[in-house]
Amino acid sequence: MILASESPRRRELLAAVGVSFRVIPSGVDETPRSGEPPSRFVRRAALDKGEAVAKLHPSSFVLSADTIVVTDGRILGKPSNRAEARRMLSRLAGREHKVYTAVCLLADGNGYRDLGTEVTRVRFRPLTAAEIAAYARTGECDDKAGAYAAQGAGMLLIDRVVGSFTNVVGLPMTRVVAMLERASLIRVSPAGPSWYVFSGGKS
């Protein structure tokens, strides 16, 4: 299986449950179209990424994903600089936002496609300007949607999570594992250290 993402968080999540894969980033542009609703954009982005890699590797299953942070109906992408990161964090402080991750599993050779979206509600605690500035200086916000990493020091920003925590990190693993099982790509390991083992996939 191919993971069409260069995100280290997604690699770590898949590896944690024993899934075998190789990484081939898609290089697909992740810019929303004018007037495109967040829920539609995130599904299109995940599908576009998967299709770009699957066309080059038709005999392989490809797993792709896209994660966005949404508040007040507006997508917060990755900050372009620390000042923008501070503005994003100020916008999220003391409020609830939603994290959308669309996940796509497809194989170009046999037309297989499974696409789904997970939504998690996250509430930040109230943050002072000093706390926001200090977190931004860590650099952890630099390449993260919404300017925070829930699996890192950014966990201290969060008051409550409703839904899948791994979705906030970058992959809703319960959904992903179900997708891989439906495609007969993995099965529960009968023995050994891994939870799941590769089982071939549907033809």
Q: Quick check: helix, strand or coil at residue 30?
A: coil
C-alpha closest to that of 32 among 11, 48, 12: 48
Catalytic residue among 29, 48, 66, 159: 66
Give me the phi and psi of 70, to 5 degrees please.
Answer: -125, 130
Which helix (H) or strand (E) segment is 54 a member of? helix 38-54
Which is it for strands 22-23 and 74-76: parallel, antiparallel or unpaired?
Answer: unpaired
Buried/exposed code over 159-180 (b: 16+ C-beta within 10 A; e: otherwise): eebeebbbbbbbbbbebbbebb
E-assigned strand segments in the chain: 2-3, 22-23, 62-71, 74-76, 96-107, 112-124, 158-162, 186-188, 196-198
66 is catalytic: yes
**Residues annotated catalytic, as ranges:** 66
